[in-house]
Amino acid sequence: MNWAQLLTPHRSHHELTGTPESGRSHFHKDHDRIVFSSAFRRLGRKTQVHPLSLNDHIHTRLTHSIEVGSVGRSLGIMAGEAMADELPPWITPADLGAIVQAACLAHDIGHPPFGHAGEYAVRDFFRRHRGSALLAELSPEERDDLCTFEANAHGFRVVTQTEYHQFEGGMRLTYPTLGALMKYPWTSVHAGIKEKFGCYQSERQQLHEVAQKLGLLPENTDKYCRHPLCFLLEAADDICYTILDLEDALELNILQYADVEQTLLQLCGWETPHEYAQDSSLSPRRRISAFRGRAMERMLVSALQAFLAHKNAMLAGSYHGELLLDGDSDVAAGVRAGKKLAYEKVFRNARKSELEIGAFSTIGTLLDVFCHAVYEQHSLPSPSFRYRRVLDLMGGNAPAREQPLYHAYMRVLDYVAGMTDQYATYLAHQIGGMAR
């Protein structure tokens, strides 16, 4: 692969790019299109880690995405400055920062309500119906899309199909931003044991278009290697949640400061921040804030060094590692320790588990009603009164009768996955007959 093609200024859906505006490149326009979208705004009421938290200090998908975007912009600019002599003449370090930032802002835009629990709830519903009449007409690949529902694939659908220019290019982002966004540029056929993929059957054409325009190397049918800038997005995401998930757990008293101090020190290279060392009266919140800046700076440098060390392998499509694990040894160990701590003490917290179990009931109720409504519309001369009212609720998201059943279910997913935690909870109570 080559940087000139990987950083083309052209947009999807064959939209003419024209001359860049003064002070606002084509890639800065991507940033603005994402930030002003309804899908991005709804992230403010979607779970990052802790569902339906009453504590306003806790991260939502929106605050997380903004912070990841900030880190990603820094990584992009730093990489652009280090590779200035390798980049095409129309690309500045600021442009590289804008591309990575825009991709970071959109990286969670396809998440359903209730975070990863919502993903599992969608999968659970369709897997329970895999052998039923609901899915009988679908191809094996289409069934896999639903039974392995993936927020990354849904995010690609949002930005290329459903937001702004509906089914006519979506947000019409530049190809580099779309490439940097795609952590898993392949279909569900290649999801593997980790069940990760980045494109539904409904967006295969868009996947191939992006890959062809960017010159992404094919690895298999419907599978391509990553865009190099995607590794910077992944590192920015890892930097944020490694530290900030622990910070949220402290805020909620799930963890105590003593639980996280050694991990933070390791991420800082065992150097105590100056302001922390000078004031022993700092509260736990102030202490972790003092560590955060130092740790993030060290993680940024480590990720950048790993990126520069492996960029030729990325261009060859042969690098499959993680920048934070392939850089500074203390950073790599600290990242592993942080993830282990989060898994053992945060993700298994009792209140979090209770709410996530409730998410299965909420998502299951919604999908059961809406999927049966579109199935009845597809299969019968006229759906029942109840299901006609359900289709009315979907408004512009309701599929046409003549649409294939797979695409009708995708419209249901567009509607349900687009809900906030609060609205999904409210609507499930309403249609479940539990309103007071």
CA atoms of 206 and 3, how far apart (whole Å): 21
- Looking at residue 273, its pLDDT comes to 67
- Report the pLDDT value the prediction gives residue 274, as an integer from 0 to 100: 59
Tell me the C-alpha to C-alpha distance, in Å, between residue 119 and each of 125, 161, 190, 229, 354.
10, 20, 18, 26, 16
Residue 434 per-residue DSSP state: -
Q: Are 178 and 211 in contact (CB under 8 A)?
A: no
Domains identified in the chain and CATH numbers:
3-227 (1.10.3210.10), 229-346 (1.10.3410.10), 350-431 (1.10.3550.10)
Least confident of 23-32, 62-71, 358-367: 23-32
Predicted confidence (pLDDT) per residue in 122-133, tens digit: 999 999 999 999
Percent of the chain with pLDDT over 90: 73
**Mean pLDDT over each residue of the chain, to the nearest integer:** 92
Rounded to 5°, the CA angle 115-193-315 comes to 90
The Cα–Cα gap between 261 and 289 comes to 12
Give pLDDT tens digits for 223-250: 999 999 999 999 999 999 888 888 888 8
Residue 46's pLDDT band (cuts 50, 70, 90): very high
- Asked whether the CA dihedral 282, 328, 78, 66 is positive or negative, the reply is negative
**Is 90 exceeded by the pLDDT of residue 289?**
no
Strand pairing report for 223-224 and 218-220: antiparallel
> How much is the average pLDDT of 372-380?
95
Q: Cα-flanking dihedrals φ and ψ of residue 47, to 5°?
A: -65, 135
Q: By percentage, how much of the chain surpasses pLDDT 70?
A: 95
218 bridge partner residues = 224
Query: If we measure between CA atoms, which residue out of 348, 21, 5 comes closest to residue 210?
Result: 5
* Residue 115 to residue 241: CA distance in whole angstroms: 13
- Look at residue 261 and tell me whether its pLDDT is greater than 70: yes
CB 121 within 8 A of CB 364: yes
pLDDT band at 436 (very low <50, low <70, confident <90, very high): very low
pLDDT category at 205 given cuts 50, 70, 90 is very high
